């Protein structure tokens, strides 16, 4: 057990050391075995994605960025929608990594996939629009290790507080009503069903319980984690339904069973399209969020189609389409111009398109590790501990 | 047990009757609701429905994914039923004709896939396929679905065939041999006609069981999509709900038809030995053999 | 050799048997002399299938429960040990979940038996033959309608703007907040397994001879007393045998709880462990729990002579 843990620390340490070196390089030197051009398409592409990221006209015939892709490249897209990062990691490992070619991984999945060798280094020179990606997303620690890029950025966004405007007033400015037992909406709250949600509890405590000294919500010591778990257990009886699949949130919101809770911009967009009375806000305590990367499996059966997809989804036109449908913010700064043209100031007010400062304020999902990355050394709790404690929280309901 | 008049007092008869009707309503109203929703013109699922329309039937028919899923389900059903028919009747013959050591154990093993919670069966098969993947390059495919389904369809056929065999007198077989027929001829001209309807009933039930299966299929299908799996995947996409409603209604009606036919086929010979109801007679069977041995 | 008589009385020699026919006869003779061979031929394929594919899979699953999942890579390592089991026993939440699951399984079983009795009794003892066939067929048919569809139907019915609340509104009874709760799970499970329970309850009630009931009436008992003290005790073992499915299916279900409920049951934990955390060893260990509970249930049923009563 001791040697096992030592190996774990070593592995994590190495990864972090590599990651620390990764943020500085601006001119990535692709490895020698990377492709220098995109070969002929294989005719098919299997993707794992967040719901709403790969639209082929099934939701709304006018919302389709897959059919033009297939027409242009001949790659027929088959997509599996996953609800949590954990599910994505598991899917990418199925069949020895050959079953799915690519994944739209968030920061709490990327490093796990890279460390396990599930995803391949990509040659970003083959993605012409990569140079227009906003600065902080060009070589972020969550997908670039030692100058090697393991994917191309797609969209990013915060986990917002969504609420029913007819029931919840005044308009909330704090996460308070989803955590405190004094909430007038208890019994009609919702929360995200994944261990990563512990970070949201930590975020609330960071603002309201300064004694705990929480700084990075993904680097929690045992004490800090314990406090977060207590808060979550306090919240559990207030929750009507935890959601992982987006319909598990949009259904109860539509029917009035749930009136307030954490949501992705996608659910907000969807409910607004359905003419439901909802609104969203990033409260004063801040928000957790995600920056997603398209990554390619290291055993991909259709690598050329995957490169074509990465190229396609980095173009400003497609990025703008996705942004308008999903509600997330494009990584390609040129897409912001198109967005501003199409939706006016909402592009800056709601999407904060191209706003680096806003992005830096979101506590982006990342995999909790034992290595705190600061003076506390290796006293932080890692993701397996989070998974076990989350099970505890869910089991109490 | 037939009787000419009930011996329960009138009040009891009436109240039992009333409660029976209520229970039947409880059973069937949700099914009717689903069928009604298939005609819901709106995308929203709230009640009451704004009207009735068949627009989603057309949309469903044009949906390529649904058609693919339907074909996969049909293929899986046919494959599983064929295997179940062969293995199930072989097992029935073996257990009916021979008394051997471990007879009770064999009956028990046949029921196990249905008696154990589906998730256990699903996980077990999933582990094996993954291991097979590592060792033999086995991958999740239509065949793994068929293998999973066949494993618990066998007992359905087995129960129907053995129930029928028990009603067939062995003297027929002896008479056939006496008249000079060899094994194949006896089977073809004497045994087969007798169990034909039981085989058909068992086959239809096995098909219905396979067509509807989702619990184990989730673990054995990989990226293949059967119709129930399609529904499961699309329940999470709100804009697909109307199509899901149509598929659900069609699935409903489509699985009732084979059962109804199977019931009519076995009417004279004592009725259906259906699906999980098959376990009870099979357990009874095992108990009988234990008592006899 | 067979000989045939023609109409004019001559004897016709049958043609000599063909090679195929001779082969069949030889094989048939061999099989006749060695019944073991016949048995092996009949039973072989089935046995190989069930033992290798099914029992083998179960054994593999059981073995996996003693292995571990590597923390960093997530791969399964063959580090033999009881860690998974220890963890299960020591962490209270898994006990809570297991007890909760067994609890609802029992509640659903009892509910189904209670719901089944009136209709089974009516069909068995009161209805005329045609009505009886109709009743039995109506009870069995829903069994074959899609499980997923039925769960989904209830999800829409029980939601805040579904049929139930609308109906209650119409009769001015306000609304209920049943969606995504234990109540909805209880209703849905009872609904799903009711047909499985009704048939054996029917069989159990049908077997009771008329004479017993008449004797009881002659002795002065009213019907309800007869039911309570004569019919029930005889029928209960049969009820228990019939409830095996309601119990077993509720125990392992993972789809209904996620669609219409919001609580964690054994099935959910196992399914999430496999599909999301990919911690198959732990899932396998937890899967042993419903298997053991089922074994216990079957043993108790056997003790109650449930199977002999059928």
Q: How many CB atoms lie within 10 A of CB A223?
A: 13
Interchain CB distance below 8 Å, C145 and B12: no
Summary mean pLDDT of chain C: 83
- In the A/B pair of chains, how many CB contacts fall below 8 A? 45
Which helix (H) or strand (E) segment is A249 a member of?
helix A247-255
Higher pLDDT, A373 or C87: C87
Q: Tell me the average pLDDT across C53-66.
A: 90
Summary mean pLDDT of chain B: 80
Q: Tell me the average pLDDT across B268-287.
A: 49
Give the model's pLDDT for residue B117: 84
| Residues B74-114 pLDDT 10s | 999 999 999 999 999 988 888 888 877 777 778 778 878 87
| Residues A334-360 pLDDT 10s | 999 999 999 888 888 888 898 888 998
Give the model's pLDDT for residue C192: 93
**Which of these ranges, A285-294, B174-183, C151-160, has the smallest mean pLDDT?**
B174-183
**Angstroms from B218 CA to nearest CA on chain A:** 13
Q: Give me the helix-helix angle, B192-212 and B241-265, nearest 10°.
A: 160
CB of C73 within 8 Å of any CB in chain A?
yes
Q: Which C residues in the span 201-230 are in contact with B, Cβ-Cβ below 8 Å? A: 203, 206-207, 210, 213-214, 217, 223
Give the model's pLDDT for residue C70: 73
Partner residue opposite B214 with nearest CB, options C148, C195, C251: C148
**Are the beta carbons of A47 and A309 closer than 8 angstroms?**
yes
Partner residue opposite C180 with nearest CB, options A87, A252, A384: A252
**Which of these ranges, A13-27, A53-67, B92-106, has the smallest mean pLDDT?**
A13-27
CB of B47 within 8 Å of any CB in chain A?
no
* Phi, psi of C11, rounded to the nearest 5 degrees: -95, 130
Q: Model confidence at C74, in pLDDT bands (50, 70, 90)? A: low
Residue B257 three-state SS? helix
Parallel, antiparallel or unpaired: strands A239-243 and A189-192: parallel
Q: Model confidence at C72, in pLDDT bands (50, 70, 90)? A: low
Give the model's pLDDT for residue A27: 38
Q: In the 3-class helix/strand/coil scheme, how is chain C assigned residue by residue?
A: CCEEECCCCCEEECCCCCHHHHHHHHHHHHHHHCHHHHHHHHHHHHHHHHHHHHHHHHHHHHHHCCCEECCCCCCEECCCCCHHHHHHHHCHHHHHHHHHHHHHHHHHHHHHHHHHHHHHHHHHHHCCHHHHHHHHHHHHHHHHCCHHHHHHHHHHHHCCCCHHHHHHHHCCCCCCCCCCCHHHHHHHHHHHHHHHHHHHHHHHHHCCCHHHHHHHHHCCCCHHHHHHHHHHHHHHHHHHHHCHHHHHHHHHCCHHHHHHCCCCCHHHHHHHHHHCCCCHHHHHHHHHHHHHHHHHHHHHHHHCCCCCCC
Give the model's pLDDT for residue A7: 43
| Residues A219-258 pLDDT 10s | 999 999 999 999 999 999 999 999 988 888 998 898 888 9
Give the model's pLDDT for residue A12: 42
**Are the beta carbons of C137 and B203 closer than 8 angstroms?**
no
Instruction: Please give the residue of chain A at the shortest CA–CA distance from C278.
Output: A90
ipTM: 0.78
Q: Tell me the average pLDDT across C188-204.
A: 89
Please state, in angstroms and rounded to a whole number, the distance separating the CA atoms of residues C3 and C12.
6
Give the model's pLDDT for residue B6: 64
**Are the beta carbons of B283 and B273 closer than 8 angstroms?**
no
**Which of these ranges, B231-240, C45-54, C194-203, has the smallest mean pLDDT?**
B231-240
Pinpoint the alpha helices (H) of B52-101: 55-62, 64-97
Please state, in angstroms and rounded to a whole number, the distance separating the CA atoms of residues B133 and B141.
11
**Angstroms from A319 CA to nearest CA on chain C:** 29
| Residues C7-46 pLDDT 10s | 776 777 777 778 887 887 777 777 777 777 778 888 888 8
Give every CB contact of residue C210 below 8 A, 6+ residues apart in sequence.
B1, B3, B7
Q: Model confidence at B269, in pLDDT bands (50, 70, 90)? A: low
Which pTM does this prediction carry?
0.81
């Amino acid at each position: 057990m001791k040697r096992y843990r030592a190996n774990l620390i070593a592995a994590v340490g190495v990864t972090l050391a590599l990651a620390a070196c990764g943020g500085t390089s601006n001119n990535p030197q692709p490895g020698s075995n990377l492709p220098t051009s995109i070969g002929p398409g294989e005719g098919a592409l299997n993707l794992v994605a967040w719901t709403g990221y790969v639209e082929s006209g099934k939701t709304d015939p006018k919302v389709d960025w897959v059919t033009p892709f297939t027409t242009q490249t001949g790659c027929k897209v088959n997509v599996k929608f996953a609800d949590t990062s954990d599910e994505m990691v598991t899917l990418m490992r199925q069949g020895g990594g050959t079953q799915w070619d690519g994944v739209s991984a968030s920061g709490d999945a990327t490093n796990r996939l890279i460390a396990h060798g599930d995803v391949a280094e990509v040659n970003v020179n083959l993605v012409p629009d990569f140079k227009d990606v906003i600065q902080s997303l060009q070589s972020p620690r969550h997908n670039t290790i030692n100058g090697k890029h393991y994917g191309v950025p797609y969209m990013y966004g915060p986990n917002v507080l969504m609420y029913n405007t007819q029931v919840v007033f005044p308009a909330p400015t704090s996460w308070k009503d989803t955590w405190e037992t004094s909430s007038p909406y208890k019994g009609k709250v919702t929360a995200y069903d994944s261990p990563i949600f512990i970070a949201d509890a930590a975020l609330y405590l960071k603002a309201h319980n300064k004694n705990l000294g929480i700084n990075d919500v993904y680097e929690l010591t045992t004490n800090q984690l314990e406090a977060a778990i207590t808060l979550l257990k306090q919240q559990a009886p207030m929750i009507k339904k935890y959601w992982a699949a987006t319909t598990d949130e949009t259904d109860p919101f539509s029917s009035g069973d749930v009136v307030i809770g954490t949501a992705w911009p996608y659910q907000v967009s969807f409910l607004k399209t359905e003419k439901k009375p909802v609104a969203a806000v990033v409260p004063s305590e801040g928000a957790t969020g995600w920056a997603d990367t398209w990554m390619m499996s290291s055993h991909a059966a259709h690598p050329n189609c995957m490169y074509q997809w990465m190229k396609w989804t980095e173009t400003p036109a497609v990025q703008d389409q996705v942004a308008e449908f999903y509600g997330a913010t494009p990584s390609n700064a040129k897409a912001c111009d198109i967005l501003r043209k199409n939706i006016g100031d909402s592009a800056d007010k709601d999407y904060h398109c191209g706003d680096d400062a806003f992005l830096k304020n979101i506590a982006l999902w990342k995999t909790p590790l034992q290595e705190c990355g600061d003076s506390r050394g290796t006293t932080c709790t890692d993701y397996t501990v989070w998974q076990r404690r989350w099970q505890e929280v869910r089991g109490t309901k | 047990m037939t009787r000419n008049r009930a011996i329960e007092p009138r009040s009891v008869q009436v109240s039992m009757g009333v409660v029976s009707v209520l229970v039947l309503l409880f059973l069937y109203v949700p099914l009717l609701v689903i069928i009604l929703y298939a005609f819901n013109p709106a995308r929203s699922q709230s009640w009451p429905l704004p009207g009735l329309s068949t627009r989603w039937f057309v949309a469903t028919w044009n949906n390529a994914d649904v058609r693919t899923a339907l074909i996969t389900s049909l293929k899986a059903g046919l494959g599983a039923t064929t295997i179940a028919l062969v293995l199930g009747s072989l097992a029935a013959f073996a257990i009916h004709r021979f008394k051997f050591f471990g007879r009770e154990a064999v009956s028990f093993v046949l029921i196990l896939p249905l008696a154990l919670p589906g998730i256990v069966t699903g996980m077990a098969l999933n582990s094996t396929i993954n291991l097979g993947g590592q060792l033999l390059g086995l991958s999740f495919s239509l065949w793994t679905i068929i293998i999973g389904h066949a494993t618990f369809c066998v007992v359905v056929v087995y129960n129907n065939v053995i129930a029928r065999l028990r009603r067939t007198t062995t003297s027929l077989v002896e008479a056939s041999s006496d008249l000079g027929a060899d094994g194949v001829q006896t089977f073809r001209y004497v045994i087969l006609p007798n169990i034909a309807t039981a085989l058909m009933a068992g086959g239809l039930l096995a098909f219905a069981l396979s067509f509807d299966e989702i619990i184990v299929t989730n673990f054995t299908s990989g990226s293949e999509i059967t119709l129930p799996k399609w529904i499961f995947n699309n329940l999470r996409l709100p804009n697909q709900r109307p199509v899901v409603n149509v598929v659900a209604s069609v699935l409903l009606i489509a699985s009732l038809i084979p059962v109804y036919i199977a019931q009519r086929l076995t009417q004279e010979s004592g009725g259906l030995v259906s699906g999980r109801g098959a376990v009870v007679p099979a357990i009874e069977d095992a108990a009988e053999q234990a008592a006899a041995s | 050799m067979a000989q045939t008589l023609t109409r004019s009385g001559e004897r016709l020699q049958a043609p000599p048997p063909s090679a195929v026919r001779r082969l069949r006869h030889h094989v048939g003779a061999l099989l006749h002399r060695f019944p073991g061979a016949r048995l092996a031929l009949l039973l072989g394929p089935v046995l190989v299938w069930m033992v290798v594919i099914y029992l083998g899979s179960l054994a593999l699953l059981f073995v996996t429960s003693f292995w571990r999942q590597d923390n960093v890579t997530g791969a399964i390592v063959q580090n033999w040990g009881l860690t998974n089991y220890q963890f299960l026993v020591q962490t209270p939440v898994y006990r809570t979940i297991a007890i909760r699951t067994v609890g609802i399984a029992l509640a659903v079983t009892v509910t189904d038996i209670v719901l089944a009795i009136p209709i089974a009794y009516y069909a068995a003892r009161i209805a005329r033959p045609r009505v009886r066939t109709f009743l039995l067929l109506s009870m069995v048919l829903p069994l074959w309608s899609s499980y997923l569809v039925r769960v989904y139907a209830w999800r829409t019915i029980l939601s805040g703007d579904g049929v139930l609340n609308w109906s209650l509104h119409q009769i001015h009874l306000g609304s209920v907040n049943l969606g995504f709760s234990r109540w909805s799970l209880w209703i849905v499970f009872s609904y799903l397994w009711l047909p499985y329970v009704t048939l054996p309850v029917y069989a159990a009630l049908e077997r009771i001879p008329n004479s017993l009931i008449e004797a009881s009436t002659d002795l002065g008992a009213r019907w309800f007393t007869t039911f309570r003290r004569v019919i029930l005790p005889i029928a209960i073992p049969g009820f228990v045998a019939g409830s095996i499915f309601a119990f077993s299916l509720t125990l392992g279900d993972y789809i209904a709880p996620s669609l219409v409920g919001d609580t964690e049951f054994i099935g959910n934990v196992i399914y999430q462990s496999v599909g999301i955390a990919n911690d198959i060893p732990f899932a396998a260990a937890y899967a042993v729990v419903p298997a053991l509970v089922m074994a216990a249930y079957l043993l108790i049923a056997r003790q109650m002579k449930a199977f002999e009563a059928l």
